[in-house]
Amino acid sequence: MRTPPPSHLGALREGFSLLRRHPGLSLGLTLLAMFLAELAPALELAAGVKPSLLVQALFAFVGLLPLEMYFIPRMQAQLDGETLNHPGNPSATWQAVFDGRWLKAFLTRLGLSVAVGLGLLAFLIPGILVLTLFGWGPMRMLLRGDSILESLRWSQAAMVRHWPRVVQAVLAMLLVAITYQMAAGWALDRLFPNLDPDLGPGALLRLKHPAFWVFNLLGGAMNLWLSCALLALYHRLETSVQKA
């Protein structure tokens, strides 16, 4: 009887290991995430817009854009170069390699996110399929220097053969993130029981109350861990493809 391949759930633990390689960098990015998250209510106040959950989500996206666009991919490129020293991202030159690729990889990720979002809004299943098959494309571009089409083809071919273990690990990561969000939501309800569920906490409250700074700090740490865990999962997928 053929022995089934081991799961990729170890990527969750490896994500913590990658974070611990540079404690100072991890702490600095976590603090940056906290301050960028607090930029959202400041922008709301400056714009003078009416409070709503949609407005909060929009300004949160704008506030965290520098982190998602540049700082987290840079950390992933550094960790990838240091741990694997792959010819596509050598340890000695990872900074120069990253500088030449990060914008193209981000634009590809942005385009893929739009395609996934449209698929989710339309019929749900197409969006999930696009994300499952092509989700590794931007990381492949960033770390290995493939073109857009090459990276998307690689992602598709890899996921067609290895999707069960990869999806299992991703779902486990999402479970951790959702558990944190539920715990944070529960704490928020206890701290502020009279908030309007359609409006959420006001911008001034989110800017001044220390609880939101703590939530944003923990959320930033969670985001960094997820990014490192996804990097570890990519490494596992890449190894599986090479062995096949």
Question: What confidence tens digit (pLDDT) does each residue in 197-244 have?
Answer: 767 788 888 899 999 999 999 999 999 999 999 999 999 999 999 886
Question: CB-hemisphere CA count at 13 Å for 118?
Answer: 5
State the chain's mean pLDDT as an integer.
91
DSSP 172-187: HHHHHHHHHHHHHHHH
pLDDT of residue 171: 96
Mean pLDDT over residues 122-127, rounded?
79
Cα–Cα distance for residue pair 166/136, rounded to 1 Å: 11
Cα–Cα distance for residue pair 196/56, rounded to 1 Å: 14
Cα–Cα distance for residue pair 121/7, rounded to 1 Å: 31
The yes-or-no verdict on residue 76 having pLDDT over 50 is yes
CA distances from 243 to 9, 51, 69, 86, 121 (A): 19, 53, 32, 16, 37
Q: Is the pTM of this model over 0.85?
A: yes
Cα dihedral sign, 6-9-11-14: negative
